[in-house]
Amino acid sequence: MLPPVTVPEDLRLTVVTEAAGPASAVVRVTGDLDPHTAPQLETELQACIERDGLTEVVLDLAGVGFIDSAGLRVLLGVHKLLGQVDGRLVLQSLSGPVQRLLELTRLNDEFEVR
């Protein structure tokens, strides 16, 4: 068994959630979305949707410096989860890395982008 991986403090993810209406929230993400940090974002977003009954999540990704397939998997999963409750995921202020990944994977039309 491999030893646990310690992620340096400067590589961790910051997720700040602010209410934007009765069933809406803006979630600001800062840091890298990778296999170490994507579960944190996924847990936070799922909790907001299930606990608070959100049907609209605006995900502000201006502060994301790196994103890989693990981060993309979270975006797709939350998009699907919200779709099941007739909700929507809106991506806002895409950073360069996020925009490039969506273009490379041809998923830029899958999401509503502001």
CATH number, domain containing residue 28: 3.30.750.24
Q: What is the pLDDT of residue 8?
A: 54
Nearest C-alpha neighbor of 99 from the set 58, 64, 57: 64
Question: Judging by beta carbons within 10 Å of its beta carbon (0-12, 13-18, 19+), is residue 17 exposed, middle or buried?
Answer: middle
Strands, sheet with 56-67, edge to edge from the N-terminal-most edge strand: 14-21, 24-33, 56-67, 88-92, 112-113
Residue 52 maps to a domain: yes
Give percent of the chain with pLDDT exceeding 70: 90
24 within some domain: yes
Q: How does DSSP classify residue 87?
A: -
Question: Is 4 domain-assigned?
Answer: no
pLDDT of res. 30? 97
Would you say the C-alpha torsion 95, 98, 100, 106 has a positive or negative sign? Answer: negative
Which of the four pLDDT bands, split at 50, 70 and 90, describes residue 5? very low
What are 15-54's pLDDT values in tens digits? 999 999 889 999 999 999 999 999 999 999 999 898 889 9
11 lies in some domain:
no
Q: What's residue 51's pLDDT?
A: 87
Tell me: pLDDT of 75 over 90: yes
> Which residue range(s) make up the domain with 36?
17-113
> How many domains is the chain partitioned into structurally?
1
Q: Distance between CA atoms of 30 and 93, rounded to whole angstroms?
A: 12
